Structure 1
Amino acid sequence: MDAEFTLTNLLLVSLLAFAVPFVLAFFPRVRVASAVLELVAGIVFGPELLDWIEIDAPVEIMSSIGVAFLLFLAGMELDLRVLRGPALRRGAAAFMISLLLAIGILLVFKEFGLVETPLLIAIALSATSVGIVVPVLRDSGLLHSPAGLFTIAGSSMAEFGTIVLLGLFFARDGSSPRVEAVLLVVFGVLAVLLLRGLVWFSGREATQAIFRRLDDTSSQVRVRLAIVVLLAAAVVASAFGFEAILGTFLAGAIFAVVIRGWHDLETFRKKIDAVGFGFFVPVFFVVSGMRLDLQALLGWLEIGTVLVLLLVLLVVRALPVLLYRRYLTDREALASGLLQATNLSFVVVAVTVGEGIGAITYSGGTALIAAGLLSAVIFPPLAHALLRKEGG
């Protein structure tokens, strides 16, 4: 074995990922997503502060798999059977308004020399962290209420739209948007063919019998199939010049359709969540924290930039919930706006992509992630308080 190869840094990152839930458990009244503390842990123990952990090859690889799993699991949460009717239509319209607002505001910022890549930042600020939104709605007992339905619809449409736009406009091969659009259509056709093939394969009685026989053995064949689909989609997306995240998200959405008829579906979901959220996804967030450039936040101008980005995030995601007022109370609409303005996971992903292709500087990425971090700390507790009063 190469003398330079070591798993020490990966061990330390794993220890941080293990410790975060315990820290949260000691403070049950503090409603903070684990991703927030994972980022903070990466900042504290990474190169910027204590410098106890380095990003070496094993850590880098596991982090890359982590972002792939994060988007795959996000795609699996997209359920169009639930998102239909007024909720789906108004959620999609709310996302379009958010995107147009963000683009308009960021173009003005560019004119004053405040940003260099307005489209990337606008796309990043138009998303919502569905993984943070759902627990707040569930804890408030309003997950299946009109408030929950409209919030999830708007959040899901934003997540889907921003991932597609990020993959379309910020491909690694630098092709023009027109070429990327053609490639995206071809990629979509392949995705449909993959869906039909997987539905046929997994729906066969012989296949189902094998699944049932091997499910509770060390083979874990359904989990293996999910990982094969995830990696295959990432490889194909990269081959077409897109970011792998576009492939993994669509793979998750496709796989969610494939598994609808599977037996003991809840057990399978727990298994695949355990693989992703048990290890790979936390590693991605810890490593993302280790990459942050804290020097970029030390001046008053830099702090002001973070606060302005946070305000823009709130405006572009909360303002469109006016479309929901016909169906929600004022308190529910306000809470929905706060939840839809909660945006951490996708901001981190967008910054990772942007830095990888040179579309955003490390200082700009740090400011964007800091704004997302604040949104995840501030907005969900406020929304929970509003919804709790509404439910009471």
Structure 2
Amino acid sequence: PVVSVVASIGVAFLLFLAGLELDLDALAGAPMKLGAVAFALSMATALALTVPAGRAGIILSPLLVAIAVCATSVGIVVPVLRDTGHLTSPAGLFTIAAGSIAEIGTIALLGVFFAGPNVSAGFEALLLAAIAAGAVFLLVALRRVSMWSAGQKILDRLDDTSAQMRVRFAMMVLIGTAVVAAFLGFEMILGTFLAGAIFGAIIKGDRYEHRLRSKLEGAGFGFFVPAFFVTSGLRFDLGGLSAPGEVWRILFFLVALLLAHGLPALIYRRHLTWRETAATGLLQATNLSFIVVAVTVGTELGRLREVNASALIVAGLLSAVLFPALAQALLGRREGVEPVAVHAEAEAM
């Protein structure tokens, strides 16, 4: 029971940190519009691959697998763009915008269609709209509170002591959404993600922002998130893929990741070179953390066979190892850019 509780906090922490990394300023203008189009094309491409596989009896839920392969691990992508000096280039902006929209879209779709066996998609859609409206209201309210000078002085004074008020507030938001999830269903993973996005928007520009992010990432990626990945890994029998005729499933899901993101990336061709376009597709196809979350949901609901769950995880691991390296080789390194440390999410894998 204790391990299960820690693992539940881990998945909540993972989604909270994913929301914390979301750059709302990047979701503006042409990158946002093209990113939304790219996500729609990704879903269409993924469904074109998974629906026939479902009819052939290869997978149980084509929609679940399509949602799983359409996400992007932005936490792995950003360091690659920073290392190559493309974080603020057109290729970087398009990649981050598309990846952020893919994260939001896949989490929303997973929450709506796979909240539980006895919950309708219509109810989940209404709940999703309510959550989004509440998130906007909360963001506006907390931004006003954060500008209160007296409150800032109190937080600054307590933040340098063992009270660690900013960290405690973040943990309160995180645990609160995780507890609500236990009562309202798994659709509240979106609530945890939105909580991270709101918290990130509030602390943006604060002089304690970098230190606070480091503390939260240290707690999350140092303990809770690895606990979730370890317990998730223990549930799946990767040895089942060693059976004759089963390894092809890994290749199928890996190709699905490439096609679902590589083909839609062609819409950026008028703005990017061919090398940048290919690198953008590879980075958007980098997907591990959300695959593990989707696989966990699918197996708990009986919508995903263990052999496919294991194959999806292996495909996600390969995408996290191979695709960023290939994209980095295509993009090259700009002069005057110093390499940064590997992001904590990649280390947690």
Amino acid in structure 2 at the alignment position of 1:235: V
Query: Which segments of 5 or more consecutive residues in structure 2 lack a partner in the other structure?
Result: 337-349
Q: Which residue of 1 aligns with 2:96?
A: 152
**Hey, what does 2:340 align to over in structure 1?**
none
User: Residue 362 of structure 1: which of 306, 325, 330 is its match?
Assistant: 306
Partner of 1:199: 143
In the aligned structure 2, how far is the partner of 1:188 from the partner of 1:148? 27
Q: How does 1:200-239 map to 2 (within 5 A)?
A: 200-239=144-183
Q: Does 1:275 align with 2:235?
A: no
In structure 2, which of residues 314, 320, 324 is the aligned counterpart of residue 376 of structure 1?
320
Sequence identity of aligned pairs in percent? Answer: 55
Aligned match of 1:143 in 77, 87, 93? 87
Q: In structure 1, what is the Cα distance between the partners aligned to 2:323 and 2:207?
A: 38
How large is the Cα RMSD of the aligned pairs? Answer: 1.9
In the alignment, structure 1 segments of 5+ residues that lack a partner are 1-56
In the TM superposition, residue 262 of structure 1 has moved relative to its aligned partner by 3.2
- The residue aligned with 1:332 is 276
Give the Å deviation of 1:65: 1.1
What residue in structure 2 maps to residue 161 of structure 1? 105
For residues 188-211 of structure 1, what are the alpha-carbon distances to aligned partners after superposition, in whole Å with 9 as ceiling and x for unaligned? 233333334433433322221110
The structure 1 residue matched to 2:203, chosen from 253, 259, 263, is: 259
1:128-139 alignment runs, 5 A limit: 128-139=72-83
Any idea what the Cα deviations from partners look like across 1:310-347, whole Å, max 9, x if unmatched? 11111011111111111111111111111111111110
Aligned to 1:106: 50
Q: Distance in 2 between matches of 1:109 and 1:142?
A: 37
CA displacement, residues 160-208 of structure 1 (integer Å, 9 cap, x when unaligned): 1101111111112532211211122222233333334433433322221
The question of whether the paired residues in 2 share the 8 Å contact of 1:173 and 1:241 is answered with no
Q: Which residue of 1 aligns with 2:184?
A: 240
Change beyond 3 A, Cα 1:391–1:159: farther
Kept in 1: contact 2:285–2:323 (CA 8 A): yes
Question: In 2, Cα distance between the equivalents of 1:375 and 1:183?
Answer: 33
Distance in 2, matches of 1:217 and 1:357, equals: 45
Maintained 8 Å contact 2:112/2:128: yes
TM-score (norm 2): 0.91
Cα displacement string for residues 56-80 of structure 1 (whole angstroms, at most 9, x for unaligned residues): x333222221111111011011112
Distance in 2, Cα, partners of 1:390 & 1:262: 29
Letter in 2 for 1:136: V
Aligned partner of 1:290 in structure 2 is 234
Task: Give the counterpart of 1:170 among 111, 114, 118.
Answer: 114
User: For structure 1, which segment, 157-166 or 255-264, has the greater mean C-alpha deviation from structure 2 after superposition?
Assistant: 255-264
The count of corresponding residues between Structure 1 and Structure 2 is 336
Rounded to whole Å, the distance in 2 between the matches of 1:266 and 1:225 is 16
CA distance in 2 between partners of 1:385 and 1:243 (Å): 38
The alignment status of 1:319 with 2:258, answered yes or no, reads no
TM alignment of 1:38-187, pairs within 5 A: 57-172=1-116, 174-187=118-131
Q: Alpha carbons of 1:241 and 1:329: their partners in 2 closer, same or farther (altered >3 Å)? A: same
